[in-house]
A and B are shown apart, each in its own frame.
Chain A
Amino acid sequence: MLMDALIPLLPFAAFVIIGLFELSGRGLHERAHWIAVPAVLGSLVFSFVAFGSVLSGGPRDLTFFNWAISGTFQASIGIHIDALTAVMLLLVTIVSSAVQIYTIGYMHGDRGYARFFAYIGLFTFSMLMLVMASNLLQLYIFWEAVGLCSYLLISHWYERPSAAAAASKAFIVNRVGDFGFSLGIFLIFTLVGSLDYDKVFAELPKHVGETISVAGVEIGVVTLISLLLFTGAMGKSAQFPLHVWLPDAMEGPTPISALIHAATMVTAGVFMMARLVPIFNLSPAAMGVAAVIGAATALFAATIAVTQNDIKRVVAYSTVSQLGYMVMACGLGASVAGIFHLLTHGAFKALLFLCCGSVIHALSGEQDLRKMGGLKSHLPVTYRTFYIGALALAGVPPLAGFFSKDEILFRAFVSGGAGIFFWGVGIVTAFLTAFYSFRLIYTVFHGPSKVEPKAMKHLHESPAVMTVPLIVLAFLSVTVGWTGLPIHGFNGIEAVLGPVLAPQEQTESPSALLVPLMLVSIVVAVAGWMTARYFYLTQPELPKRLAERVAALYRLSLNKWYVDELYDRIFVRPTIRMANGLWREVDVRMIDGVVNGVGWSALAWAGAMRRIQSGQLQHYALVMALGAFIMLTVYLLR
């Protein structure tokens, strides 16, 4: 039990120690990792222990303290580990460990080195507490805490205006989603009077069928709750139309992109949907909305990733797209498949980001795909691991991405009704995914070198401290998928998560469809791969000509469907204009006017009154004599 508590507390201790050294003025600087890395490795070990004991002994609970007690309401902070939590613990601690070790090499010589490790520690703590929450309040607190860490880490290079703006954007866009999330939690509390998962899951089904009037429209209260909670997931997991912050978040250092904006924090939305699946299951309407939004996001982001020229942005849009898959899976009632994809995606996307970081590091900070090429022989380790990551992302068997993505597509296909439509969207997205994955490989590592001479001089493979995490993650990207083989008896993920996430169902799927669908997926993935090969290796002039042929479509994709511009017109600029108006008219004219007016009138009065003070002795004497005379007269004549 104590060891369970150490899982989140070790990274927190690392944060506190490094932070205190920073505050004391004698920072740890390049020694910070001697505290951070052992701490996170410790929590990795304890996570494995916890995982083992959950598998054999069932869920584990430990309450740290009761945070708020008021009447019948009670909120406690503590840890609750069941199968879902245990696999998330493994994911978070493995990726966090790999990323922190990688960071030693990547951030070497950075001014904020110790600060960076402190914030990663805080993030790891918050994320672990988030997945271990046993009530909605703790979930929400650490949901916000990971958002804060994301903000702090995106703006790590805060002197760059673009980084500061990206951090603000991430925070503000998340606020929109979190607002809905908090409303959902409030609504649950008013209905049930408790925020504990168990009580909520037990009580909420009794309220199915009740309606509530929102702006004159009657809506099922459980549907409303589910939709509001889903809004939170949309913000955190960057689902359309709240996806805009994630690509911009790439302004942060690359290890952060790998840890927070690919493997862990952005998957919190999907995790939340899986965790609260008993609530979502009550509302088919909300599930439908989630499925549609997930599918739309998957396709939408994939079309953007195809044309982006910034290496990290391609991977970022790919993340948005893959998150779309997961949300779609949760929306279709296949949360096990969603979480499975979350795990495999965590491994291969962290790998891809760290590889991007390695490439960027080797090229002295260059991120533009058009200034790369031919790096294969210079970065052998990065090349091979990147290749594995791309294969996994593209869904080529037998790598991790294939099994999880195929599971989602299969579930979509057999879910009936509109399922075949979702399957179609998924297949198209899979084709685009394979295409842009190998577009990256071919433009970065193959073909003629377009590296600038200045960067060429410093070109070098990254040190071992960076490549070893790559190799570990590459190994995981190959093998994690094997935990969920779609063969009865070999599907470990289903066996572990099934009882938690979908206890009542598990009708054994008609496996007659399984093999044909799998073949389609393989064909599509290989087709995407070969198309990219043809476009970028065999006929390097083709993409340019194609872009000219369908210039409108190309521009639409390159400019990310103009969503940012649209938001700028609709939300940002009117807000700024309103703020300016309030500032100039209300604040300066009215409020300052009143305050200054009081001051001015006092001054004016004083200016008039001070004329009485003539300084002439005899004026004062006269006034005094007249006063005495008047008083005397009044006294005598009374």
Chain B
Amino acid sequence: MIPLSYYVMLSAVLFIIGVTGVLIRRNIIIILLSIELMLNATNINFVAFSHYLHAITGQVFVFFTLTVAAAEVAIGLAIIIALYRKKASLNVEEINRMKW
């Protein structure tokens, strides 16, 4: 039986990869992917604890998270397409209109 700490470590590593991706990558699609990675890292946590605590709630929660994630990707991609049409670029540094 694989100890719980392994799952938690995996989840943490995936989450940090995701955070790093959001912080250092310039392509907005990659940033969106990184956010998905962070979401799924939390999903691993949910499932692992659900299994070890014998509580089904965590697994049910994952379904909700996945649904929300799918909706989020749909909206996020739509925004990205709209942005691309306007800017002809996916570089997040060029999308800086929301400032002083």
Contact = CB atoms under 8 A, between A and B. Distances in A.
Is A bound to B?
Answer: yes
Interface of A: 610-611, 613-618, 621-622, 625
12 contacts: A611-B100, A613-B98, A613-B99, A615-B97, A615-B100, A616-B92, A616-B93, A616-B99, A617-B31, A617-B92, A618-B92, A621-B22
Contacts of A611: 100
A613 B22 contact: no
Contacts of A617: 31, 92, 95-96
A622 B23 contact: yes
B100 A618 contact: no
Nearest to A620: B98
B16 to A, nearest CB: 10
A165 to B, nearest CB: 55
Contacts, number: 31
Nearest to B20: A625
Interface in B32-55: none
Contacts of A615: 96-100
Given A618-B23, A625-B19, 19 more contacts: A610-B100, A613-B98, A613-B99, A613-B100, A614-B99, A615-B97, A615-B98, A615-B99, A615-B100, A616-B92, A616-B96, A616-B99, A617-B31, A617-B92, A618-B92, A618-B93, A621-B22, A622-B23, A625-B23
A9 to B, nearest CB: 70
A621 B96 contact: no
Contacts of B98: 613, 615
B29 to A, nearest CB: 13
Nearest to A615: B99
Which are the 3 A-B pairs with shortest beta-carbon distances?
A615-B99, A615-B96, A610-B100
A614 B23 contact: no
Nearest to B92: A617
- The A contact surface, by secondary structure, is helix
Nearest to B93: A616
A610 B100 CA distance: 6
Interface residues of B, number: 13
B95 to A, nearest CB: 7
A622 B95 CA distance: 16
Contacts of B19: 625
A562 B3 CA distance: 113
Nearest to B25: A618
Contacts of B97: 615
A616 B96 CA distance: 5
Q: Which of B23, B31, B93 has the most CB of A within 10 A?
A: B23
Contacts of B99: 613-616
Nearest to B99: A615
A197 to B, nearest CB: 76
A618 B22 CA distance: 7
Contacts of B24: 618
Contacts of B100: 610-611, 613, 615
Contacts of A618: 22-24, 92-93
Nearest to A616: B96
A616 B97 CA distance: 9
A615 B23 CA distance: 14
Contacts of B96: 614-617
A622 B92 CA distance: 14
Contacts of A622: 23
A610 B23 CA distance: 22
A615 B98 CA distance: 5
A614 B19 CA distance: 20
A590 to B, nearest CB: 33
A613 B31 CA distance: 20
Nearest to A628: B19
Contacts of A610: 100
A621 B26 CA distance: 13
A614 B92 CA distance: 13
Contacts of B22: 618, 621, 625
Interface string B51-70: 00000000000000000000
Nearest to B34: A621
Nearest to A610: B100
A618 to B, nearest CB: 6
Contacts of B23: 618, 621-622, 625
A632 to B, nearest CB: 12
Interface string B76-99: 000000000000000011011111
A613 B100 CA distance: 6
A609 to B, nearest CB: 9
A611 B95 CA distance: 17
Contacts of A625: 19, 22-23
A310 B100 CA distance: 71
Contacts of B92: 616-618
Contacts of A616: 92-93, 96, 99
B94 to A, nearest CB: 10
A614 B99 CA distance: 6
A614 B97 CA distance: 9
